[in-house]
Structure 1
Amino acid sequence: MTPERKANLQRLFNPKHIAVIGGTDAEAVAVESQRMGYRGQLWPVNPKRKTLGGHECFPSAEDLPEAPDAVFLAIPREPAIETVDRLRQMGAGGIVCYTAGFKEVGEQGAGAEDALMNACGEMALVGPNCYGILNYLDRVALWPFAHGGNCPGFGAAIITQSGMLASDFTMSQRSLPLAFIISAGNQALLSIEDYILHLCEREEIRSIGVHVEGIRDWYAFEEASVKAMDHDIPIVVLKSGSSSIGSELTLTHTGSISGADHIYSALFERLGIIRVDNASEFLETLKYLSVSRLPKGNRVAGLTCSGGEAAMLADMGEKEGLDFKQPGETTKETLASLLPHTATASNPLDYTTPIWGIPEKTVPVFKCLIKDGYDMAIIVQDYPTEELDESRASYVNDSRAFVAAVKAAGIPGAVCSVIPENLDSDIRKELIAEGIAPMQGIHDCINAVSKAIWHAERRKKIKQSEFPRLYRFTKSSNCITILNELEGKQMLSNSGVPIPPYSSVKGLEIKQLPNQLSFPLVAKMISRDLSHKT
């Protein structure tokens, strides 16, 4: 991205003024901007209407008071291309192009998309064929539909090629703190990688979620991912198009080619990127990463007020590599003196109902277990529904006791419900304010924690060693040259792929084995005239 386009992208993301060009869809953006609390100027452009969204309309873009920082464009394809050209000449910053009918519809659309890109110059353009941008941090809504989401001043940034899926994410009842939502569409000018590079520079962003159908530039994706890691921002990926049918659908949806799924998995693992399988796991993992801290290891303290939940926590945790190590002898003795006689000092710990909801009894128990050398802690709680809330105070008391114990130990924590909907919005909000992740669904919670641990370990390993970048192939001519086996293996080694130890000699010059080799050995002839396995 050129410096000029980068500056224009900043104008687009945090504009002093927004022009909305079009009819009903443009009016929806005006309404959503007001509802979001946008503090800048809003200028509708429509030659056939006097007002739009409560604002007086300008007949054309040229009639605007000055070049707008941001434009939402929702008019037919050919006029859209002409309007983009005029906006470029005016010095506009950037455009969200809601207009569709470009590359996603085939060859004719691809030509129109080329014309659109040429008209942009150094402007920033999101789309075409996209919903746009929601900037929760600066209260900017370049978005044509009602949206949800909340932002406590920090959160996750989500980038997706699908507009409707982006909208679904904003409507989720998961209390995921959101900083940005970007619907990238066709990515004619700005790519997912460009957005990652830009968003990494915002300190309020604690994690980045990417729903991807296909990656066009592997090297740019690697560069963006490495920058995110340098800024200690985890990336979570939900990839579509792994099945044969899904792969075909991504091509007709946004014109992306999804590619071989195992290659994507290998790339994500190499870069320390967390891959998830479904939308709920995507949101819960982002929530954990945005609210809590990365655990320093896999030793987990578990708390429940039910033997069944304790067993469930242990079973699921073991499958995902979590270590519910048993408390030491001193801790067991102390717990035995604090717990009812019906309880057993173990991990996960069922602290039993006789002390449930009594802070003067639960706080010492929780602190005693959690301080015994654990890397993070989880308490399982399923809150009652509103019509059965006479016992809610006891649940809240135990949540607060857990918060106190986790903070005293200085480790990350999560309050987790077995059933996703059994953690109400009020307690979710309270926990987020305390830096404790409110996790909805025990399976997604365990998955999120285990993947956060994996990411922390992978990040540490990458930062402690020289990280080999992807090998950049260059095509110098149309002539195909066969490398001999030694040249091929050296190329792989330079790209970070481990290869067996070897020594290259000519003829019978070898008198003894080099130090790095030992029997048994394989002897191979090397020549460009002998292709591998000849």
Structure 2
Amino acid sequence: MTASATTTAGISFADLDRLMKPRSIMIVGASSTPGSLGHTTVENVLEHSDFQGDVHLVNPRGGELKGHVLHPDIDSVPAGPIDVALLLVPAEAVLDALRRCAARGVGTAVVFTGGFGEVGDDGKAAERAMRDLARDTGMRIYGPNCAGLTSLAPRLGLTFSTEFRNDGHGGPLALVTQGGGLGRSLMQGSDRGVRFGRWFSTGNEVDLDSADFIAWLARQDDVRAICVVMEGIKDGVRFLAAIQAAHRAGKPVAVLKVGRSSFGAQAAQSHTASLAGEDAVNEAVFAQYGVIRVDDLDEMLDVASLLARAGGRPFRRICVYSSSGGAGVLAADMISAAGLEMAELSAATIQEMARHAPSYAALANPVDLTTKALTDTALARRCLVPLFADPGIDAVIYPITSNYAATTETSVRNLMDIAREAPIPFVPVWMSSRRGPAHDLLIEQGFAPLYSLRNATRAMARCDAYVRAPRERLAGLPLAAPATPAAAGPWNEAQAKALFARHGIRVPREATAATAREAAQAATRIGFPVALKLVADGVQHKSDVGGVVLGVRDEAAAERAFASIMDAAARHGVAASAIRGVIVAEMVRGGIETLVGVHRDAVFGPMLSFGAGGVAVEIVADVARCRLPADRPAIEAMVDQTRVARLLPAHRGRPAYDRNALVDAIERTAALFLSLGDGVEALEINPLLVLEQGQGAVALDGVIH
């Protein structure tokens, strides 16, 4: 078996050292036909890589290629260890080739071939066979349906891409993508100064998955940040464990999750056969575990650029330096829109700049030294050195509105000379559609420009949120609850609420009744007014079938309400055998109606939801989520994401509502769900009525199934 590195909760990740530092490579499907995938792959390994180990080529026609023998089959390759096998064979020949590779003791087999899980049931069956083979033999399988891997320092191209030869010298960024096209687009970001040193294109991930590569990259000293493009997440716990490994190593992870819409999710299924996942769940989990989420490729490049240059520095207090008054104001607008702050310059900084700047210069933030600073090197240095040293500034943003050829180049050179020694990041924003020497100079000197103020400030906000996240706490969050035997179910409302009460969740005074007379007697014992609610197997939304009567004020009304509920249930097709009677409950007045629910997500497991409750919950759609297990700070943060949270404090003479009791009830609901075991799919309390401060919270209705 191959070695592995164990991380949180005993989760193991592949040791990729043998894959990344091979001593021998076998290319199955090597071709002497120029332009073919098999020929390009051979060229990438022999001519465009720094690989000095043994290379074995396999092609049934035999012969010779670039000084290497073409062996007719895998079994004919001379004896000896083979670290990596690259498979460029038809889909129907892949399984046999993999079995022969495993028999030869191959460390990792990279399957470029497509036509598996993404095309139908037969392909999925083949993938299951691959997965079984990897498990039984210890040989790791990379792919299928992938573009392979690229490493630029040292150069190693285990890929069929003709563009590998044009890739630059790399940088401190690493890239993991399931597909090849978007990954190649990001790799070509080197032309704008965003340089990735390694790229893994993982394909259908039958064995090795994105989590393996994220965890391995987290351990590499030359990687500063990890960028990921995902179509789906097959194992949410492994993914989160890899994110935690990156947190412990101080490596930010930025993720572009495609397949957010229903259309995109369908496309992901046909592309890499991935489970796209409910996007609201992905959004909540990424935020909870400190993942930087981006929305498009340009934003990924912007965020990656800042992470490569600034590492873990904050981007909260921003100073704008510009020779254009309008650009300065626009930048201030964008900073505000991104939730950042305009830095307040110290009196000492302003005083020092005033000694040298023209009297008509603007020395507050935004700083505008006027066009004189474009050509006056001495003026720029004397004013900007104290600006960059101001302890109240986290970063300086420089909008370059136009390309004035030599004038812009001179200005950029001046700024770079100062910014190169500055303790804070310098972020140039090239706003002109016309490039030029100054633009290229920024890239050459390691100051990759961003291309709009909106994108720049948004990227700053993403990076700043990562810096401010409690990464030590995030790295230690439990990934799974202790295993619990499945509880018996399902539960109707009466049974569910009895369970709530046993777990410390307050419920109204209530009783069940099987007849109209029993309902009237129960109402008298509880005290009027009361509510009557249908109890019937399979009926969750009782009001939809006329199963709720509120404000019942005497025994006669209770009997009439019982009869009305039974008649309505019959009219709506509720089978008599499913009806268990009614609940007679006290009417709890006042408060805010909220919803607390837990459901079992296919990727990430138990997900806790909170928001506005009541019968209009779907219309209001005020819901936030977090993954379980969750500590109290995570639950508090979830509550604060909703509009409900703004209703809880006292306001204009109205007393506050009981926030502590609300959070207690949510915590207990989460603990109850986890205690019921994997057999329970969902639990919902709607409404959970939050009363005034000190009066608690009451679960008025609930269901477990």
Normalised to the residue count of structure 2, the TM-score between the two structures is: 0.66
CA distance in structure 1 between the partners assigned to 2:333 and 2:454 by the alignment? 10
Aligned-partner SS, 1:283: helix
- On the 8 A contact 1:30/1:42 being kept in 2, the answer is no
1:421–1:322: structure 2 CA closer, same or farther, 3 Å change rule?
farther
The reply to whether residue 500 of structure 1 matches residue 663 of structure 2 is yes
CA distance in structure 2 between the partners assigned to 1:478 and 1:26 by the alignment? 56
Q: Report what 1:510 is aligned to.
A: none
Q: Report what 1:62 is aligned to.
A: 75
CA distance in structure 2 between the partners assigned to 1:84 and 1:133 by the alignment? 19
Stretches of structure 2 that go unaligned for 5 or more consecutive residues are 6-12, 506-595, 599-607, 609-627, 637-661, 669-691
- On the 8 A contact 1:12/1:124 being kept in 2, the answer is no
Higher strand proportion: 2
Q: Report what 1:412 is aligned to.
A: 425
CA distance in structure 1 between the partners assigned to 2:432 and 2:144 by the alignment? 39
**Aligned ranges 1:478-489 → 2 under 5 Å:** 479-480=488-489, 482=491, 484-485=499-500, 487=503
**Aligned ranges 1:305-454 → 2 under 5 Å:** 305-372=323-390, 373-381=392-400, 384=403, 389-391=405-407, 393-404=409-420, 407-408=421-422, 410-419=423-432, 422=435, 426-432=440-446, 436-454=447-465
The reply to whether residue 103 of structure 1 matches residue 117 of structure 2 is yes
1:524–1:307: structure 2 CA closer, same or farther, 3 Å change rule?
closer
Aligned-partner SS, 2:319: strand
Stretches of structure 1 that go unaligned for 5 or more consecutive residues are 505-516
Aligned-partner SS, 2:663: coil
Q: Report what 2:56 is aligned to.
A: 43
1:175–1:190: structure 2 CA closer, same or farther, 3 Å change rule?
same
1:248–1:466: structure 2 CA closer, same or farther, 3 Å change rule?
closer
Alpha-carbon RMSD: 3.0
Q: Which residue identity is paired with 1:155?
A: P
Q: Which residue identity is paired with 1:20?
A: I
Q: Which residue identity is paired with 1:446?
A: T
Q: Report what 2:285 is aligned to.
A: 267
Task: Give the CA deviation at 1:266.
Answer: 0.3
The reply to whether residue 176 of structure 1 matches residue 194 of structure 2 is yes
Q: Which residue identity is paired with 1:82?
A: D
Q: Report what 1:463 is aligned to.
A: 472
Q: Report what 2:528 is aligned to.
A: none
- Which of 89, 93, 110 is the aligned partner of 1:79? 93
CA distance in structure 2 between the partners assigned to 1:518 and 1:119 by the alignment? 60
- On the 8 A contact 1:130/1:184 being kept in 2, the answer is yes
Task: Give the CA deviation at 1:443.
Answer: 2.6
1:113–1:350: structure 2 CA closer, same or farther, 3 Å change rule?
same
1:440–1:56: structure 2 CA closer, same or farther, 3 Å change rule?
farther
Task: Give the CA deviation at 1:105.
Answer: 1.1
**Aligned ranges 1:147-158 → 2 under 5 Å:** 147=163, 148-152=166-170, 154-158=171-175
Q: Report what 1:279 is aligned to.
A: 297
Structure number with bigger Rg: 2
- Which of 3, 15, 36 is the aligned partner of 2:22? 15
Aligned residues: 505
Of residues 375-384 and 210-219 in structure 1, the stretch that sits farther from structure 2 once superposed is 375-384
CA distance in structure 2 between the partners assigned to 1:367 and 1:350 by the alignment? 15
Q: Which residue identity is paired with 1:307?
A: G
Q: Report what 2:180 is aligned to.
A: 163
The reply to whether residue 27 of structure 1 matches residue 39 of structure 2 is yes
Of residues 328-337 and 261-270 in structure 1, the stretch that sits farther from structure 2 once superposed is 328-337
Q: Which residue identity is paired with 2:174?
A: A
1:522–1:448: structure 2 CA closer, same or farther, 3 Å change rule?
closer
Residue by residue, what CA displacement relative to the aligned partner does 1:90-126 show, whole Å, maximum 9, x if unpaired?
A: 1111121011121111111111112223333212211
Task: Give the CA deviation at 1:340.
Answer: 1.7
Task: Give the CA deviation at 1:531.
Answer: 4.8
- On the 8 A contact 2:152/2:197 being kept in 1, the answer is yes
CA distance in structure 2 between the partners assigned to 1:208 and 1:520 by the alignment? 48
- On the 8 A contact 1:95/1:123 being kept in 2, the answer is yes
Task: Give the CA deviation at 1:488.
Answer: 9.2
1:309–1:38: structure 2 CA closer, same or farther, 3 Å change rule?
farther
Q: Which residue identity is paired with 1:146?
A: T
Aligned-partner SS, 1:519: coil
Q: Report what 2:684 is aligned to.
A: none
Task: Give the CA deviation at 1:13.
Answer: 1.8
Residue by residue, what CA displacement relative to the aligned partner does 1:311-365 show, whole Å, maximum 9, x if unpaired?
A: 1211111111221223233332322221122311121212211121332210111
CA distance in structure 2 between the partners assigned to 1:263 and 1:423 by the alignment? 44
Q: Report what 2:618 is aligned to.
A: none
1:494–1:7: structure 2 CA closer, same or farther, 3 Å change rule?
closer
Residue by residue, what CA displacement relative to the aligned partner does 1:358-406 show, whole Å, maximum 9, x if unpaired?
A: 322101111122222212222233674xxx74435413323324415xx
Aligned-partner SS, 1:439: coil
Q: Which residue identity is paired with 1:178?
A: F
CA distance in structure 2 between the partners assigned to 1:473 and 1:252 by the alignment? 36
Q: Report what 1:507 is aligned to.
A: none
- Which of 120, 132, 155 is the aligned partner of 1:118? 132
CA distance in structure 2 between the partners assigned to 1:124 and 1:212 by the alignment? 21
Aligned-partner SS, 1:134: strand
Q: Report what 2:557 is aligned to.
A: none
Q: Which residue identity is paired with 2:310?
A: S
- Which of 89, 93, 97 is the aligned partner of 2:107? 93
1:465–1:213: structure 2 CA closer, same or farther, 3 Å change rule?
closer
CA distance in structure 1 between the partners assigned to 2:352 and 2:297 by the alignment? 43
Task: Give the CA deviation at 1:4.
Answer: 6.1
Aligned-partner SS, 1:215: coil
- Which of 267, 271, 286 is the aligned partner of 1:249? 267
Q: Which residue identity is paired with 2:54?
A: Q
Aligned-partner SS, 1:265: helix
CA distance in structure 2 between the partners assigned to 1:340 and 1:122 by the alignment? 72
Of residues 467-476 and 325-334 in structure 1, the stretch that sits farther from structure 2 once superposed is 467-476
1:244–1:369: structure 2 CA closer, same or farther, 3 Å change rule?
same
- On the 8 A contact 1:174/1:284 being kept in 2, the answer is no
Residue by residue, what CA displacement relative to the aligned partner does 1:166-211 show, whole Å, maximum 9, x if unpaired?
A: 2222233322121211111110001111111111111111111111
Residue by residue, what CA displacement relative to the aligned partner does 1:205-235 show, whole Å, maximum 9, x if unpaired?
A: 1111111111121111111111101111101
Of residues 19-28 and 449-458 in structure 1, the stretch that sits farther from structure 2 once superposed is 19-28
CA distance in structure 2 between the partners assigned to 1:423 and 1:446 by the alignment? 24
Aligned-partner SS, 1:349: coil
Q: Report what 1:513 is aligned to.
A: none
Residue by residue, what CA displacement relative to the aligned partner does 1:462-481 show, whole Å, maximum 9, x if unpaired?
A: 42589532444857459446
Q: Report what 1:129 is aligned to.
A: 145
Q: Which residue identity is paired with 1:321?
A: G
CA distance in structure 2 between the partners assigned to 1:86 and 1:209 by the alignment? 35
Aligned-partner SS, 1:321: coil
